[in-house]
């Protein structure tokens, strides 16, 4: 049991990325094409109001 704990104490070895540069770039372009339309969507007004309130509360907390 002590030996099992010792095995987990060592951090995993650093490895190179499993995907080559061309694959990573292609994946990045596909993800950007997928998410760009989402970024252009309007934020729900209730969520926008909540975010504004949180920002106001944070500023008030930071000023005290």
Residue 60, token pair as written in the block: 């008030």
Of the pLDDT bands very low, low, confident and very high (cuts 50, 70, 90), residue 4 is: low
0.75 exceeded by pTM: no
Distances (CA, A) of 41 to 2, 17, 38, 44: 54, 33, 5, 9
Determine the pLDDT at residue 15: 79
Instruction: State the average pLDDT over residues 29-58.
Output: 94
Tens of pLDDT, residues 12-28: 777 777 889 999 999 99
pLDDT at 42 over 60: yes
């Amino acid at each position: 049991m002590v030996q099992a704990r010792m095995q987990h104490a060592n951090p995993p070895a650093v490895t190179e990325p499993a995907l080559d540069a061309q694959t990573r770039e292609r994946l990045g372009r596909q993800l950007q094409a997928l998410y760009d339309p989402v970024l252009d969507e309007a934020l729900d007004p209730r969520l926008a109001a909540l975010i504004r309130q949180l920002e106001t509360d944070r500023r008030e907390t930071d000023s005290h």
